[in-house]
Structure 1
Amino acid sequence: MTLVRARISLVVLLASAAAACQTQDKAPLPAYVSTSPHGPAKLASQTREQGYFIEFRSRYALSYGHTYVIFGRTNKAGAVVEREVAGLAPATLDPTPYVLGHFVPVPAETGASDGDLEEEYRSASWRVMLTEAEYRQVVAFIRKLKEKSRFWHASMYNCNAFVADIARSMGYKTPSIWLRPQEFVTRLREMNGG
């Protein structure tokens, strides 16, 4: 009986993930910027010469897209002067592990992937400005998460799940990991008043 339940659970899980991926992406959405997750009062004390940020992003891809974060520092004008990328994806450009990752976990990488920094592929983004102390806390969490995130699976631990872990560490509510990346980032922002 346990084997039957396991098979039914697997079928339901795969069907849910497949259904979530059947929606269509919209045209690129505008970039949104919010203040610190702990309110604008804390942000006011931060020097504008060194603005710290994390940006939750999604981009278009040949498949259903990709979700990742960019974090770093901005200058007085708000232009990014230092940045780093973190996201979870199969550790190869070969499509075979990507396809297999819909059935079994495959080796993953947690850095930048092709297209992450190209503006024409960005489909949605939400930038949160942080104090230096908040930024250091978020970066420490991201580094630990990157160390332990060794596998990608489309239904169990995908790029949305990786970014959701980061968002939850900051105290945010997160949407379903089975949404398309553009919808995931948009809902993340909306759920948290961004």
Structure 2
Amino acid sequence: MTTTVYLTRHGQTQWNVEGRMQGWNDSPLTELGVKQAEWLGERLKGINLDKIYSSSSGRAYKTAEIINENKSVELISHDGLRELKLGKFQGLNQDEIKKMYPEQYYNYWNKPEIYKPVGDGETIEELIERIDKAIMEIIEENTGKSILIVTHTMPIKALLCSLENIDISNFWMEPYIKQTSLTTIEFDDKIHKIVQCADISHHEYQVKEYNE
């Protein structure tokens, strides 16, 4: 039985605009972030979803709530879907991190395989293990169903690394996971098929109207 998983990142947040690292911290959706969630909700309107799972972080859960306005299906908060825990990076902008923690800032973006969190955080390898466990548990509980998972950039990247056996050194390879981009993966027993990855076509036909 095929289980279809739709994966998306939350909408734009205030800290996204400010260039601040969020991790397990949080900031609210911007006006554009709300619109992005609405655009994806409209795109998914004709798709039957059995459940929606969301990271327990507020920005993801709010995105899921907006999408669910067109669905009214069960919405489940899941701690295992949270973003990478970034320790002392959380709440700081890129310039501040680069100045205060230059070695690990460099490793984070250029040598993710040796990145170590400053303070209480996770490595990329630990994130991959956490996300793989969470996603596989969700799939086992929803065999043969269609589910939406609302999470963050790095969990989506981590899942793709796990499924496609991508080395952590290539963690940041394209595609970039933009806000409310849509990745669709079909699972049939131990076989998976990536139907689409990081698609934002639902942005393109809405952005012009939003900007006018």
TM-score by length of 1: 0.33
The structure in which a higher percent of residues are strand is 1
TM-score after normalising by structure 2? 0.31
